[in-house]
A and B are shown apart, each in its own frame.
Chain A
Amino acid sequence: MDWQTLAAAGIVTLTLAVFLIRMARPRKKSGCGHHCDCGKK
């Protein structure tokens, strides 16, 4: 396995982990997720 394959697989694994952690983490605020103006105070 060459270094590019290893690096790409590492980046994909890291990205997947970040997504899973973010999904599992309880949200502090319900609602708009800061997509638009509504999340700002």
Chain B
Amino acid sequence: MQGSSEFPPTIALIGNPNSGKTTVFNALTGSNQKVGNYSGVTVEVKSGQMFTPHGKKLHVLDLPGCYSLRAPSLDEKVAVDALKGEIPGYAKPDMVVCVVDASNLERHLQLALQIIELGIPTVLVLNMVDMAEKSGLRLDPAKLSEELGVPVVPMQANAGKGIIELKQALRFPFPPTPAVAWAAENLENSRRALITRLCELAARRPDAHQLTLSDQLDNWLLHPVYGWIAFLGIMFSVFWGIFSFARIPMGWIEAGQGVIANWVVAHMADGDLRSLLVDGVLGGMGGVVVFLPQIVLLFLFIGLLESSGYMARAAFLMDGVMAKAGLSGKAFLPLFSSYACAIPGVLATRTIDSAKERLVTIFVAPWMSCSARLPVYFLIVPLLLHENEGSWKQAMILFAIYALGTTSAFGVARLLRAKLGPDTGATHFLLELPPYHAPQWSYILRHVGERAWSFVAQAGTIILGLSILLWALGTYPKSGGTKDEMLAHSAVGRIGSVIEPAVKPLGFDGRVGTAILTSFAAREVFNSSMAVLFRVDEAESDEKTRSLLRDRLAAAKRSDGTPLFTPLSLISLLVFYIYALQCLPTSAVVARETGSWKWAFRQFIFMSGFAYIASLIVYQGGKLLGFS
């Protein structure tokens, strides 16, 4: 049935990983799904709508990339199930658009032939024809169409070229099911023979031995020595860039907060509402929003690495390192995605064939320092350094933080992998190395914009709400006396005194313990909590310095009058935040992806316990060694 007036016909987009399905999907539907120049970006079925040139509405499904219809990994199984109409909520496709990379026809046509053999009307999209032609290929789409018996549309989807032709090919009624002329007794052999013939006829390569620019670049970037130097250089540049370039916009945000706070103080009499606005709302939200430029830069750099094609090279380089941790190169991309956020990282593990390797990758993914930890790091790291010290030192510390989280994750992965035992079946690591190309700025900027908005929206809702509640806990019940006495009498003071014995061995006091406790739902709440909880020290801070909160923290004292934040207690705090799993949404996704709350609970207990013990060892060990 080709749809009805109630249910529009369904088109499924399928193809090998990194063939550009999501780019075609976005171009057809006007959506803005994430795209990247590496495989495994799409791990779930995504849906949208489009209209043919004659105004007919079509339902479009973007399926995860797969190499064949007998693939073992979860994301590939999703694609196969969707083609069979076995996914609840999605109709069986009336037509398939098979997207192939025109420069890799030999490999991509394997899947295309299997799709055609299914007997579903098919349109073949030759994507990235520009790259194929640049590499010297001479394509003949008409010949290919004649041989396969299906419409063939050449496209350059990232530039919108060929979209009109594709929409024309999708017009109603759909083309009939193609006759499969190559089906023989030995299907594999006949497919292979057909692909060889098709490539000779329709994708001739007159200068087959000429190295492309991508090949020449790969000679350096995948070199066993220079490749690693480039990799470390690129990663360090990202961290240095985050600290250096964000300074100016951060200054603007801080100045803006100062202007608003001064305006409120000048126009309102002293009272609870003024305190709520200045100390609770502006202090709490400001402590998080000020780090927006750094978050934006992180996502911008990750987007650039993905879009340029370098990310796949990084995965290739890391395959050997991953093997030492008992994982394969397939685990690199989910783990690298977790630097931005553990949730897409956990979802991206669907590309991993081995169930045990997937479970191990999910288990350690939250130790790859995500962007939500950045505000905490950016608050603490400058306290370890003098104001006039260069951003390269901050970048070095940040690099070390990421290295510690990553190496710890690899260590635990190795132990857990050994404990779980070998796989029952053989698994393979197949990685596409796409040609390098100029970044797709429109997608990158839109994605960065979405992330920035999501961060601001969160600050404007959850963090705003928590800041208000924390202010109330730090204010009520009211009492007379000094600010310190009032805080000690408040609910926060009482909670802090209960928590203090547990966190004192780590070098913290009750206020820091309370801030840690509040950040178990989402770790960036720590900054808001600290801003609200340490407002009593505002009068002692130096107004001339850039960051009020950092000054307040630097001036904070313990009950015995000694400084609360020493280098040792700050490192202890950093170590706690590197290891603690303080993100409820991540736990929820882990539970969903592993099929039960058992692993999510184990992960939470293990990571929180590890964070506590590591922090304890750092602080107590440091004191024993004579550090302060």
> Which A positions have Cβ atoms within 8 angstroms of B?
2-5, 7-9, 11-12, 15-16, 18-19, 30-38, 40-41
Q: Is B50 an interface residue (CB 8 A)?
A: no
Other than the given A16-B472, A37-B34, 9 more pairs (CB < 8 A) read A7-B272, A7-B273, A8-B271, A15-B468, A32-B585, A35-B458, A35-B585, A37-B343, A38-B343
B518 CB to nearest A CB, Å: 13
Q: Is B72 an interface residue (CB 8 A)?
A: no
Q: Mark B465-482, 1 if CB is under 8 A from A, else 0.
A: 100110110000000000
**Best-surrounded residue of B33, B47, B343 (most CB of chain A within 10 A):** B343
A19 and B589 contacting across the interface, CB-CB below 8 Å: no
B271 and A30 contacting across the interface, CB-CB below 8 Å: no
- Residues on A with C-beta less than 8 A from B33 are 40
A31 and B273 contacting across the interface, CB-CB below 8 Å: no
Q: Is B213 an interface residue (CB 8 A)?
A: no
- Residues on B with C-beta less than 8 A from A40 are 33
The one of A16, A32, A41 in contact with B589, judged by C-beta atoms closer than 8 angstroms, is: A32
CA distance A5 to B472 in the complex (A): 11
CA distance A13 to B347 in the complex (A): 38
A12 and B469 contacting across the interface, CB-CB below 8 Å: yes
> Which B positions have Cβ atoms within 8 angstroms of A?
33-34, 44, 46-47, 268-269, 271-276, 340-341, 343-344, 347, 454, 458, 465, 468-469, 471-472, 583-585, 588-589, 592
- Residues on B with C-beta less than 8 A from A37 are 34, 341, 343-344
What are 23 residue pairs bridging A and B, where the CB atoms are less than 8 Å apart in the complex?
Answer: A4-B269, A4-B271, A5-B272, A7-B273, A8-B275, A11-B276, A12-B276, A12-B468, A12-B469, A12-B471, A16-B472, A19-B469, A32-B343, A34-B454, A35-B458, A35-B583, A36-B343, A36-B344, A37-B34, A37-B343, A38-B44, A38-B343, A40-B33
6 A-B pairs with the lowest CB-CB distances in the bound complex, closest first: A4-B271, A8-B272, A4-B273, A36-B341, A35-B585, A36-B343
A27 CB to nearest B CB, Å: 9
CA distance A19 to B90 in the complex (A): 35
Given contacts A5-B271, A9-B272, contact A33 B588 (CB under 8 A): yes
CA distance A30 to B593 in the complex (A): 11
CA distance A12 to B34 in the complex (A): 38
A30 and B468 contacting across the interface, CB-CB below 8 Å: no
CA distance A5 to B331 in the complex (A): 55
- Residues on B with C-beta less than 8 A from A36 are 340-341, 343-344, 454, 585
- Residues on B with C-beta less than 8 A from A12 are 276, 468-469, 471-472
- Residues on B with C-beta less than 8 A from A35 are 341, 343, 454, 458, 583, 585
A2 CB to nearest B CB, Å: 6
B468 and A31 contacting across the interface, CB-CB below 8 Å: no
- Residues on A with C-beta less than 8 A from B469 are 12, 15-16, 19
- Residues on B with C-beta less than 8 A from A38 are 44, 343-344, 347, 589
A4 and B272 contacting across the interface, CB-CB below 8 Å: yes
A8 and B585 contacting across the interface, CB-CB below 8 Å: no
A28 CB to nearest B CB, Å: 13
B233 CB to nearest A CB, Å: 28
B276 and A8 contacting across the interface, CB-CB below 8 Å: yes
**Best-surrounded residue of A11, A32, A36, A37 (most CB of chain B within 10 A):** A36
Given contacts A4-B269, A11-B468, contact A30 B588 (CB under 8 A): yes
- Residues on A with C-beta less than 8 A from B458 are 35
- Residues on A with C-beta less than 8 A from B585 are 31-33, 35-36
CA distance A33 to B454 in the complex (A): 12
B41 CB to nearest A CB, Å: 10
B46 and A30 contacting across the interface, CB-CB below 8 Å: no
Of chain A, the residue at the smallest CB distance from B478 is: A5
CA distance A19 to B464 in the complex (A): 11
- Residues on A with C-beta less than 8 A from B275 are 8
A25 CB to nearest B CB, Å: 15
